Structure 1
Amino acid sequence: MVQTFDSSNFYSICDGLAAKDTHLATVIREYGYPPVWTRSNTFSTLVLTILEQQVSLASAFAAYKKLLEKLITITPEKILALSDEELRSCYFSRQKIVYVRGLAQSIVTNHINLEWLSEQPDELVRTTLKQLKGIGDWTVDIYLMHALQRLDLFPLGDLALINAMKMLMHLEKPTKEELLIIAEPWKPHRTIATMILWHYYIKRRTLSCCISCI
């Protein structure tokens, strides 16, 4: 059976992680619990996740908001009906036009079924989605974490996660292998540990911005 999190178990998992990791305990003590970051398991969620690849979240959301204003509801059929020029007017790059169209086509032809994916194990979700152009491990990790609420993801391709670990744990140039060793005790709840670290990263960046404005 697939294990997931929601608001009913999220905080107890946070407490359990804090009880066995002093760094995570420090984050919760100083900044409180992270938000329960979830998204709906929909085509529009995957579009947003693709837009978030290798850009700031603000830039990605600006493009998503522009698309939402144009379409009202973001569906595969509506995406396929848009021209390249219309998608570029919503701040889509050439590559992301290709990626989102490919995803839309796969859903329309039922090559990808999101409801079916929600019931499958993580690795099958990963191999299925990575067949699509432009969808790699980071995109799948974020989809599994936010849309399917899977418990044990550790997205090593996420810069915010890596930077949070470097700041919190005073690491200089950790290798992926070293980070995986650090995260090993967090299993099978590495998703929640990641969210605690994201929370720390956001709070520290916000604090730094406030201080720089004084």
Structure 2
Amino acid sequence: MKEAITHLAKDQILKTILEIHGHPIIQKRDEGFAAMCHIILEQQVSIASAKATYQKLENHFGEITPENILNAEDAELRNCGISRQKTLYLKDLAAKVISKELDFTTFNQKSESNIRAELLKIKGVGNWSVEVYLMFCLQSPDIIPLGDIAIRNTIKELYSIHTVEDMEILAENWKPHRTLASYILWHHYLKKRNKI
């Protein structure tokens, strides 16, 4: 962590965020099916809203397993606050795990690119969802989720950079610690909006 902070502090803007707000909280989530369900629920909604839906799901089933999700009536999932679209995504994920097409327990033996390719086969899962899984569940050290609106808006605000291509070029300077840089940017975004 110290080496990563030293490297990122060469960027004056990141250094200033660290000086003003201190170090960000590094999240660690469990790996596996339930974690991926949670990430799907987080797509395009607030963290608080997704968490509430996930808790309803957990309360309803006791445990979020592929079998519970796949065998659930759509109405059951709707009562937990899950949209028709996300019901399709969760059921596709569950089916892939049950059929062994997707096995989360093998991820620790696979490359990041292989994991990315496997997760992208899930209906409704794009780069943002994959990057959140890599960052939070697998603790991958060098991810910058430019599909994340808070990250993009913070880069626009602090660096006056407006295209994703230019953001990618900026983030090259943060390698191989782009995940920590992302946490620092999120930290600024949340602190500025009094969400921490």
Matches within 5 A, 1:21-170: 21-169=11-159
In the comparison of the two structures, how many residue pairs are matched?
A: 196
Post-superposition CA distance 1:12-58 (Å, at most 9, x none): 4233311x111111111100100011211121110010001111111
Match among 177, 182, 187 for residue 199 of structure 1: 187
Percent of aligned positions that are identical: 42
State the TM-score, normalized to the length of structure 1.
Answer: 0.87
Match of 1:15 in 2: 6
Q: State the superposition RMSD in angstroms.
A: 1.5
Match of 1:180 in 2: 168
Cα distance in 1 between the residues matched to 2:8 and 2:50: 31
Unaligned runs of 5+ in 2: none
Secondary structure in 1 aligned to 2:193? helix
Cα distance in 1 between the residues matched to 2:95 and 2:23: 39
Cα distance in 1 between the residues matched to 2:33 and 2:3: 31
Cα distance in 1 between the residues matched to 2:39 and 2:6: 29
State the TM-score, normalized to the length of structure 2.
Answer: 0.95
Are 2:70 and 2:95, in contact at CA under 8 Å, matched by a contact in 1?
Answer: yes
- Counterpart amino acid of residue 14 in structure 2: L
- Counterpart amino acid of residue 151 in structure 1: P
* Superposed structure 1 runs of 4+ greater than 3 Å apart: none
Unaligned runs of 5+ in 1: 1-9, 210-214
